[in-house]
Amino acid sequence: MKKEAKDIFNFKETSDACVKCGKCVPVCTIHQINPDETTSPRGFIDLLGAYKEGKLELDSNAKDIFESCFLCTNCVSVCPNTLATDMVIEEVRADIAQKFGISWFKRAFFFLLRNRTIMDIVMKLGFMFKTCVLSIDFEGRGLRARFSLPMVKKGRLLPSMAKTSFLNSYPEHITPKESSKQKVAIFIGCLANYNYTTIGDSLVEILKILQIDTFIPKKQLCCGAPAYFTGDVDTVEYLIRKNLDYFETFIDEYDAMILPEATCSAMIKHDWEVFCKNHNKSELIPRIEKILPKIHMATSWLHDNTNLKEQLVAKGKKFDDLVTYHDPCHARKVQGIYQEPRNLLSANYKMIEMSDPNRCCGFGGVTMQSEKFHLAELAGKPKAAMIKETKAKYVSAECSACRVQLSEAMNNAKVETIFKNPLELIAEALKE
């Protein structure tokens, strides 16, 4: 269904503010692998202005262009006017979804994100029957496709599947042996809940050692990021409302809700409010703003509000293994978090910086990992090469989306470095 001009988001406000300086072009992830002015931030912005004016039809060619953006926000970081190119791309994707529909497998996936119980059953079945189509990677990095599947080539490395999800592995309340002055809730994120459950295990172990009262909210749903980046407006609104209703029942009792995932944290802290402003859900904004002071990335909160660093130093463990750190786009560029995990890791591990830790790994969202995976592969190659140059045993980042992408990029480049969330490495350093 074609939208009337008056109903189209005001992309012209952004396109008119663009001074065409070009600072965004060399840092743009898609432009680095596909050097075409059309698929550059100022190209996107110019086309969106034309779309708003009725000079550009939102046809399959325009769809292809707007779905090639990785949403890495590199352009926003260097723009003299701080134009939110990522936000306007997210808005036009909503129009694309409305006109062209959403692929059946994405609709199925988003349905599962809205329904935790059904997702639990599906993931349990996936674990039981995974060896029918997948083999376990001998390095423990994930699962490999035994043969080519739709949009998944033979040998592609995919996330692991846990027998039991993180949320179903623990009681709702974990009380420390000694009385605690601090109380936190955990928002785990979908990948850490179902695939990389050792992240949550590590976080719980760290909180136990710190004697922090821990609450694991069992009714939490997906933050909505996969649907938001795809243009599924209805699913995003549903997840925001459901999570908000639930968070409000307990969040006042806790010092913080900590998240071991950069994308989930950025979605709640930044994108929920942006989405509501752009989609006339202003009644939700005061409620979101009320909970925001309690939302924190895990390493950032642990670094700033506990004596974790001192405990790590006191342990005196010194690992010979080299660790290099990759900065997730949603951590460093969106939330300004990058030094905190390094500070914690450096207490026990030898740190070595790769040549450009801030370069996007190329995950890019559901569409980039499916129909446009060839672009994700191209974006991952230089990052894998950087990691290889460091000769590090581990590459770390507080983002499971980066874990998916970098593990596959390193798999393709035959790089032996293993991905670990910083919490996993910190928990290892705390062990007796």
Q: What is the pLDDT of residue 8?
A: 77
Phi first, then psi: give them for residue 322, nearest 5 degrees: -80, 140
In CATH, the architecture of 5-100 is Orthogonal Bundle (1.10)
C-alpha angle 188-190-194 in degrees, rounded to nearest 5: 95
Residue 2 has pLDDT above 80, yes or no: no
Fold of the domain spanning 315-430: Rossmann fold (3.40.50)
pLDDT digit string (tens) for 417-428? 999 999 999 999
Residue 290 has pLDDT above 80, yes or no: yes
Q: What is the pLDDT of residue 393?
A: 97
Phi first, then psi: give them for residue 106, nearest 5 degrees: -70, -40
Q: What is the pLDDT of residue 116?
A: 96
In this prediction, residue 5 has a pLDDT band, given cuts at 50, 70 and 90, of: low
What HEC string does 8-71 produce?
Answer: CCCHHHHHHHCCCCCCCCCCCHHHHHCCCHHHCHHHHHHHHHHHHCCCCCCCHHHHHHHCCCCC
> Mean pLDDT across the stretch 216-230?
98
pLDDT digit string (tens) for 122-164? 999 999 988 888 888 877 789 988 887 766 888 898 999 999 9
The mean pLDDT value of the chain amounts to 95
Strand order in the sheet with 143-145: 134-136, 143-145, 157-158
Residue 175 CA: distances (Å) to CA of 210, 299, 399: 11, 21, 27
Q: pTM score > 0.75 for this model?
A: yes
Residue 7 has pLDDT above 70, yes or no: no
Residue 131 DSSP symbol: G
CA pair distance 83, 86, nearest whole angstrom: 9
Q: What is the pLDDT of residue 377?
A: 96
Q: What is the pLDDT of residue 150?
A: 67
In this prediction, residue 18 has a pLDDT band, given cuts at 50, 70 and 90, of: very high
Q: What is the pLDDT of residue 145?
A: 86
Q: What is the pLDDT of residue 44?
A: 95
CATH of domain 173-303: 1.20.1050.140
- Helices and strands: H and E segment counts in the chain: 22, 12
In this prediction, residue 359 has a pLDDT band, given cuts at 50, 70 and 90, of: very high
Q: What is the pLDDT of residue 4?
A: 60
Q: What is the pLDDT of residue 1?
A: 54
pLDDT digit string (tens) for 241-264? 999 999 999 999 999 999 999 999
Contact 357, 24 (CB under 8 A): no
In this prediction, residue 406 has a pLDDT band, given cuts at 50, 70 and 90, of: very high
Contact 406, 397 (CB under 8 A): yes
> Among all chains, which residue has been given the structure tokens 């939110």?
84
CA pair distance 3, 118, nearest whole angstrom: 35
Question: What are the extents of the domains in the chain?
Answer: 5-100, 104-158, 173-303, 315-430
Contact 162, 127 (CB under 8 A): yes
Q: What is the pLDDT of residue 136?
A: 87
Q: What is the pLDDT of residue 51?
A: 93
| Best CA proximity match to 395, nearest among 346, 336, 325 | 325
Q: Which residues contact 203 (CB under 8 A, 6 or more apart)?
A: 186, 258, 260, 298, 423, 427
